[in-house]
């Protein structure tokens, strides 16, 4: 059972989708790297919004847009995520991959309650998508 999600103000999902769409602009960085095929936006418990883009490089190097947004958030000293979304360059909302689900759950224990935005009027708590997160065993 997941923790209760933080309240999401009306329109928050739409705003996050718009912010993610604004950065989801694919561009080639070099012969072997590309960025921006996917954009992400998240809002923290404190109400700050961070965005990020995907990075794809040769040899399997790179990361998802959600990783980039989480890194921006952590850089600014926050780690409790109220809601997060990822969109493709054509504006389509996509759910986070398994690695991103784990990442969000590991940066703050209460993030199992993070709203995963699946559309302007649809969110699901991360705990519902990740019912058995990896836990370090000591
Ligand atoms: Zn991912």
Mean pLDDT of the chain: 92
How many Å is the Cα radius of gyration of the chain? 14
DSSP string, the chain: -PPPPPP--TTHHHHHHHHHHHH---EEEETTEEEEEEEEEEEETTS-EEEEEEEEEGGG-EE-HHHHHHHHHHHTT---EEEEEEEETTS-EEPPPHHHHHHHHHH-GGGGG-EEEEETTEEEEHHHH-SS------
Q: What is the mean pLDDT of residues 73-90?
A: 97
Output the CA 63–ligand 1 centroid distance in Å.
7
Q: In the prediction, which pLDDT does 5 show?
A: 52
> How do the domains of the chain map onto residue ranges?
12-129
Output the CA 42–ligand 1 centroid distance in Å.
14
What is the second-level CATH architecture of the domain 12-129?
Answer: 3-Layer(aba) Sandwich (3.40)
Output the CA 39–ligand 1 centroid distance in Å.
11
Residue-wise pLDDT for 23-64, tens only, equals: 999 999 999 999 999 999 999 999 999 999 999 999 999 999
Output the CA 99–ligand 1 centroid distance in Å.
5
Output the CA 68–ligand 1 centroid distance in Å.
10
Angle at CA of residue 110, ends 106 and 113, nearest 5°: 105
């Amino acid at each position: 059972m997941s923790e209760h999600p933080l309240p999401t103000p009306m329109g928050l999902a739409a705003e996050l989708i718009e912010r993610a769409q604004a950065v989801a602009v694919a561009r080639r960085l070099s012969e072997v790297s590309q960025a921006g095929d996917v954009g992400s936006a998240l809002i923290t418990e404190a109400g700050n919004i961070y965005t990020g883009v995907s990075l794809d490089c040769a040899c399997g190097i790179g990361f998802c847009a959600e990783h980039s947004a989480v890194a921006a958030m952590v850089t600014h000293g926050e780690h409790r995520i109220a809601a997060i979304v990822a969109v493709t360059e054509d504006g389509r909302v996509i759910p986070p991959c398994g690695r991103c689900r784990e990442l969000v759950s590991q940066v703050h224990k209460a993030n199992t309650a993070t709203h995963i935005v699946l559309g302007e009027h649809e969110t699901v708590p991360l705990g519902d998508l990740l019912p058995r997160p990896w836990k370090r065993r000591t």
